[in-house]
A and B are shown apart, each in its own frame.
Chain A
Amino acid sequence: MIRSKALWRKTWLALWRKTWLESRTRFFGALAMMMFVAGWDILDSAHGMSRFDRTPPITFTQYVAYLFQGNLQWVWVASVLLLGLGGLAREDRLGTAQFTLTLPFRRRQWMQVRATLGLLQAAILALVPVLIVPLAARVVGRSYPVWEAFKFSVLLFAAGIIFFFGAVFWSSFLGGEFSAIAATGISALFAFTAQDYLYRGIPSFRFSYFNMNAFLGGYELLDRATGLLGGWPWAGIVKSLCAAGVLFWTSTAIVERRDF
């Protein structure tokens, strides 16, 4: 029993190790990009804020809210889409799936480790602005509350994790170098632009629910005067997490059933 427990632990560790080695280049690339964008946009805030032609001029907190609805959101979504790519269908195309799947693991275990590590990496990426934004704000002589940055980051992660699982879903049956990237990119683009197209089609209907851009950036909860988040879109977050769960369950079922 002790031996089997030890083996069980070693098996999971090996899986984590492999999944980490597989994804670390993408993760570090995304981390660097996230740090650069968060840092640069704050260090360049004087120039950035001047581009908003408003009277009265926008405040620094409003500017940061725009960043969370713009650059930071785009980079984070693109990063988690990349992190969700790969997996057994890709390995099948590369010729390593036969080796992987003859090791003593269940396919479900591979999927669970991929998902868990991906979630951790996505969370770390979402938390980058919590550290960088207040620090960089100090450098340029401004201040931004860590808690406010944290709220935006949590919202970005909780509402946006569906994009990661969208990429996992496409990768469960598209193994080509570009096919999974193209499919995930197109679905993400659709998620961000669906509202516009639907609104043009049926202008009388309220389609704000489909606006992922506004949802991830907490647009509807934003206090326009202060640029701070006024609450949490719990219903939306729960729906997004449920959809992510369904995507993951479907992806696992596909991987378990397919032949390699």
Chain B
Amino acid sequence: MPASKRPELVIETHGLSKKYRDTFAVRDLDLTVPAGSISAFLGPNGSGKTTTIRMLLGLAHPTAGSGCVLGQAISDDAACIQIRQRIGYVSEDKRLYGYMTVKQALDFVRPLYPNWNRDRERALQERFDLPPGRKCKKLSKGMRTKLALVLALARGADLLIFDEPGEGRDPAGTEQLLEAIVEAASDGATVFFSTHQISEVERIADHVFIMNHGRLVFQNAMEEIRKNYRRIHFSFMGSAPANQMNIDGVESLRAEGHVLSLVANGNLERIAQLGRALGAISVATSNQSACGKCSWEL
């Protein structure tokens, strides 16, 4: 695609790396997050998701590579201030100042953002039932998440970054959270969130990025994944011959006892034929394929 036709990118990294002593937490990361998207950032614990987010926000300094957020270089101290003015961020543990009340926390953050939306603040505070006079240290984890969400969503931010937003929340709380995220996205904000919850990804994400061992192992639009990827299950009489399934289109596979499950990107007919040739007694193709790739990578 010619450069002029490319959609605007809110996050763009080139060879971004972070090394702690001898270990790379993130290695050669080339990430492109289009404007207006809801992007899910998936990966197992320790895969480098949080380190990536920290580098994008200027909390950690990259060891190598470069990155731009909202068109500003993350290595530039002055630019980082402008980036932060347009970002809403909710960290993994959602800790807030224990010595402040909910009202004091809002009063502290509100003046820092020229686009602060007072109506949204009130609406969210009402929806989340946040007690203004309660100290942050007395809030439950669920309530802390809600306050962190109000503080992030009322900023009128162009980019919202959530690190494991659903962590520690009950189903009703998760529902409220997803609603709030979708609402913010419909107002024009780009959403970038890390998660372990495949169901959250399937429900709201339109782009998926998967990290493993510090590297980006997969990135694609959800629509493409839905269209192109299929999960196929083969059942065998004996052990599943995982090492013989070398054929174009197989993206990843997993053998569990007699069952061999794989994610295929095209070439479905030939993969099925090979399975039968290897002695499969049944072949099933799952229609719920979209996040099969994602869940396997995890």
Report B57-76 residues with CB < 8 Å from chain A CB.
57-61
Is there contact, CB below 8 Å, between B114 and A259?
A: no
Assess A104 versus B112: contact at CB under 8 Å? Given A21-B104, A260-B59. Answer: yes
Q: Which residue from chain A places its CB closest to the CB of B50 in the assembled complex?
A: A98
A193 at the interface (CB under 8 A from B): no
Is there contact, CB below 8 Å, between A102 and B59?
A: yes
Is there contact, CB below 8 Å, between B97 and A21?
A: yes
CB distance from B295 to the nearest CB of A (A): 28
A250 at the interface (CB under 8 A from B): no
Stretch at the interface among A3-11, A37-45, A124-132, A218-226: A3-11
The answer for the CA separation of A26 and B21 in the assembled complex, in Å, is 38
Contacts of A18 in B (CB 8 A): 97, 108
Is there contact, CB below 8 Å, between A10 and B59?
A: no
Report A1-48 residues with CB < 8 Å from chain B CB.
3, 7, 10-11, 13-14, 17-18, 21-22, 25
The answer for the CA separation of A17 and B59 in the assembled complex, in Å, is 23
The 8 A CB mask of B102-118 against A (1 = contact, 0 = none) is 00100111011110000
Assess A21 versus B89: contact at CB under 8 Å? Given A104-B84, A260-B54. Answer: no
CB distance from A175 to the nearest CB of B (A): 13
Q: Which residue from chain B places its CB closest to the CB of A98 in the assembled complex?
A: B91
Contacts of B57 in A (CB 8 A): 101-102
Contacts of B89 in A (CB 8 A): 98-99, 102
The answer for the CA separation of A22 and B98 in the assembled complex, in Å, is 9
Is there contact, CB below 8 Å, between A259 and B61?
A: yes
Assess A17 versus B108: contact at CB under 8 Å? Given A95-B95, A98-B59, A104-B81. Answer: yes
Q: Which residue from chain B places its CB closest to the CB of A6 in the assembled complex?
A: B114
B129 at the interface (CB under 8 A from A): no
CB distance from A71 to the nearest CB of B (A): 30
CB distance from B104 to the nearest CB of A (A): 7
Cβ contact of A96, chosen from B60, B61, B85, B96, cutoff 8 A: B96
Report A223-260 residues with CB < 8 Å from chain B CB.
257, 259-260
Is there contact, CB below 8 Å, between B112 and A99?
A: no
Cβ contact of B54, chosen from A21, A95, A104, A259, cutoff 8 A: A259
B87 at the interface (CB under 8 A from A): yes
Assess A101 versus B97: contact at CB under 8 Å? Given A14-B111, A18-B108. Answer: no
Is there contact, CB below 8 Å, between B100 and A14?
A: no
The 8 A CB mask of A104-121 against B (1 = contact, 0 = none) is 111000000000000000
A103 at the interface (CB under 8 A from B): yes
Assess A11 versus B112: contact at CB under 8 Å? Given A102-B87, A102-B89. Answer: yes
Size bin of chain A's contact surface: 20 to 34
Is there contact, CB below 8 Å, between A95 and B97?
A: no
Q: Which residue from chain A places its CB closest to the CB of B92 in the assembled complex?
A: A98
CB distance from B23 to the nearest CB of A (A): 14
The answer for the CA separation of A247 and B93 in the assembled complex, in Å, is 33
Is there contact, CB below 8 Å, between A103 and B77?
A: no
A94 at the interface (CB under 8 A from B): yes
Interface of A (DSSP majority class): helix
The answer for the CA separation of A13 and B82 in the assembled complex, in Å, is 18
CB distance from B112 to the nearest CB of A (A): 6
Which of B58, B59, B82, B109 has the most C-beta atoms of chain A within 10 angstroms of its own C-beta?
A: B59
B99 at the interface (CB under 8 A from A): yes
Is there contact, CB below 8 Å, between A101 and B58?
A: yes
Is there contact, CB below 8 Å, between B111 and A10?
A: yes
Is there contact, CB below 8 Å, between A96 and B97?
A: yes
Contacts of A25 in B (CB 8 A): 99
CB distance from B143 to the nearest CB of A (A): 15
Q: Which residue from chain B places its CB closest to the CB of A23 in the assembled complex?
A: B99
Contacts of A259 in B (CB 8 A): 54, 59-61
CB distance from A112 to the nearest CB of B (A): 15
The answer for the CA separation of A243 and B188 in the assembled complex, in Å, is 52
Q: Which residue from chain B places its CB closest to the CB of A109 in the assembled complex?
A: B81
Q: Which residue from chain B places its CB closest to the CB of A256 in the assembled complex?
A: B77
Is there contact, CB below 8 Å, between A7 and B114?
A: yes
Assess A13 versus B111: contact at CB under 8 Å? Given A95-B93, A259-B59. Answer: yes
The answer for the CA separation of A235 and B227 in the assembled complex, in Å, is 78
Q: Which residue from chain B places its CB closest to the CB of A101 in the assembled complex?
A: B59
CB distance from B137 to the nearest CB of A (A): 10
CB distance from B92 to the nearest CB of A (A): 8
Cβ contact of A22, chosen from B84, B85, B97, B114, cutoff 8 A: B97
Q: Lowest 10 CB-CB distances: which A-B pairs, in order?
A: A95-B95, A10-B111, A259-B60, A98-B91, A104-B84, A104-B85, A102-B89, A260-B59, A96-B95, A104-B81
Known pairs A102-B87, A259-B60 / 17 extra A-B pairs, C-beta < 8 Å? A3-B114, A10-B111, A11-B111, A11-B112, A17-B108, A18-B97, A21-B97, A21-B108, A94-B95, A95-B91, A96-B97, A102-B57, A102-B84, A103-B84, A103-B109, A104-B84, A104-B113
What residues of chain B have their CB less than 8 Å away from a CB belonging to chain A? Answer: 54, 57-61, 77, 81-82, 84-85, 87, 89, 91, 93, 95-100, 104, 107-109, 111-114, 148
7 residue pairs A–B, Cβ–Cβ below 8 Å: A10-B111, A14-B108, A14-B111, A21-B97, A22-B97, A94-B95, A260-B60
